[in-house]
Amino acid sequence: MEPRRNLFGLSAQAKALLIEKLSSTASTRSSRVTRRLAPESEDRTGRLDVSELEGFREIRMIREAAEFLGIADPFFRVHDGIASAETTIDGRSYVNFASYNYIGLNGHPDIVAAAKSAIDRYGTSVSASRPVSGERPVHRDLEHALARIHGSEDCVALVGGHSTNVTVIGHLLGRDDVIVHDALIHNSIVQGATLSGARRVPFPHLDHEAADRLLRETRPRGGHALLVIEGHYSMDGDIPDLPAFIAVARRNRAWLMVDEAHAIGVLGPRGFGSADRFGVDPGEIDIIWMGTLSKSLVSCGGYIAGSKELVDYLKLMAPGFVFSVGMAPPAAAAALAALELLEREPERVRRLNDRAALFLRLAREGGLDVGGSIGASIVPIVTGSSIRAGRLAHAMFERGINVQPILYPAVPERAARLRFFLTASHTEEQIRDTIAILLEESRRVASEPSDLAAVARHLGASRLSS
């Protein structure tokens, strides 16, 4: 997502004025570091002064503003036990809407047993990259299972979901190429695109006609074109028209990559993801399927499923695979056991979708803004202001409900929200109670004034006195 530079609803101009006012000395910025004007004040020890880094001052301002507004920091809370429909924080039990444990598999006895048995057999690490001496049978077993559910010829699994996108996109594309992607695409794809050096062209969210036009306009003569979408968008819980994007990719001779991080275990009658939902035969099309193991599959890692040639190429060329350790045996075994459970127990997916649809319907009936969510597992409640989102999350927490606010700059200020992740383990009663509390608290929070001028005054005063 392209963050819009505005803080707590202040326009860019007002924020510029505010920042200017907050600065005790005028400053100029390089792309990464705020330079100091007075050389005599420079730290001559050579130590990195983190406060010089771009963004540091912004973090501090956001923290000070939150403190001024009485909003507790919602990040890095320490959970005890397995986070599912409920969780324990500081000895108190909460109804939990902040886990990716979509189909309730975390802690399942079969998965725990598989992970333990992999440790008994192979230890906790494979101690080397797979090409060197890190290959274990569980890696290929997992990859074959992932290729099976995607209907692909083969698959390669890597140690992290984020790093999979970075290394694969970063290495597949180069300076002569173009990457056309949804404007709300995940950060890992933007990072990979930046690393590749290819031209990066975002298209408006879900708009396949715009993607078509932009591909036509920007496709380089000699180079490649990659079109990237997510199967199920993590911020909004909405989905692209997959058949339309397939047609766009074909028309423009572009590779199509679909990030299924939030689609596996969630979309389609079997929970096999976007192709399952749209009835597309994935074997017939040359799609690059990307996924993570950290959500429905309750492990840690990322993967690419696709043609044999693509997987072969990545296993020999992608730096994040070749120069990085193989997946830890218990992580690979856990993901494999989770996949087998998904295949055996599709009713988990139905239950998840039913619970999410109930949440979505009740929220809509209560007049809340749920954006374009389809109610498969992710439902945003858009407040339109970071202050209101922070206050509402804080109020929900006080009432025993754990939900994360998503604030600027993760989303544009006007799209600030609470993000509810539903799981198959939530009960109907938990959902009905949560919506009742949410309606009550959002009315209360909406009636509280958000005095931005007072926030700015406070930030100015605290900066000048620090």
CB of residue 67 vs ligand PLP: minimum separation in angstroms? Answer: 28
Q: How far is CA 216 from CA 179, 210, 249, 250, in A?
A: 12, 10, 10, 12
3-state secondary structure of 65: helix
Q: Which C-beta is closer to ligand PLP: that of 139 or that of 162?
A: 162
CB of residue 27 vs ligand PLP: minimum separation in angstroms? Answer: 34
CB of residue 100 vs ligand PLP: minimum separation in angstroms? Answer: 7
Pairing state between β 302-306 and 154-158: antiparallel
Active site (annotated) includes residue 262: yes
The answer to whether the beta carbons of residues 96 and 83 sit under 8 Å apart is yes
CA 94, 98, 103, 106: dihedral to nearest 10 degrees? -70
Active site (annotated) includes residue 171: no
The one-character DSSP state at 257 is E
Q: Which C-beta is closer to ligand PLP: that of 210 or that of 378?
A: 378
Active site (annotated) includes residue 186: no
Select the residue whose beta carbon is closest to ligand PLP and give its number: 161
Q: Which C-beta is closer to ligand PLP: that of 162 or that of 417?
A: 162
- How many Å separate Cα 176 from the centre of its chain? 28
The string of DSSP letters for 354-418 reads: HHHHHHHHHHHHTT---TT--SSSEEEEE-SSHHHHHHHHHHHHHTTEE-EEE-TTTS-GGG-EE
CA pair distance 184, 459, nearest whole angstrom: 31
Beta bridge partners of 96: 402
CB of residue 135 vs ligand PLP: minimum separation in angstroms? Answer: 22
Choosing from 15, 150, 162, 262, the catalytic residue is 262
CB of residue 259 vs ligand PLP: minimum separation in angstroms? Answer: 5
CB of residue 163 vs ligand PLP: minimum separation in angstroms? Answer: 7
Tokens of 333: 């075994």
Q: Which C-beta is closer to ligand PLP: that of 136 or that of 162?
A: 162
Buried b (16+ CB within 10 A) or exposed e, 161-197: bbbbbbbbbbbbbeeebbbbbbebbbebbbbbbebbe
Q: Which C-beta is closer to ligand PLP: that of 8 or that of 420?
A: 420
CA pair distance 407, 419, nearest whole angstrom: 10
Choosing from 152, 234, 274, 294, the catalytic residue is 234
The one-character DSSP state at 285 is S
Q: Which C-beta is closer to ligand PLP: that of 230 or that of 276?
A: 230
Q: How far is CA 187 from CA 227, 233, 333, in A?
A: 15, 12, 28
Choosing from 150, 171, 232, 295, the catalytic residue is 295
CB of residue 237 vs ligand PLP: minimum separation in angstroms? Answer: 12
Pairing state between β 225-230 and 255-259: parallel
Please enumerate in sequence order all residues whose Cβ is within 8 A of that of 314, keeping only pairs 6 or more positions apart, or say none. Answer: 156, 168, 171, 304, 321
Q: Which residues lie near ligand PLP (CB under 6 A)?
A: 160-162, 165, 186, 188, 230, 234, 259, 261-262, 292, 294, 302
| Positions marked catalytic | 234, 262, 295
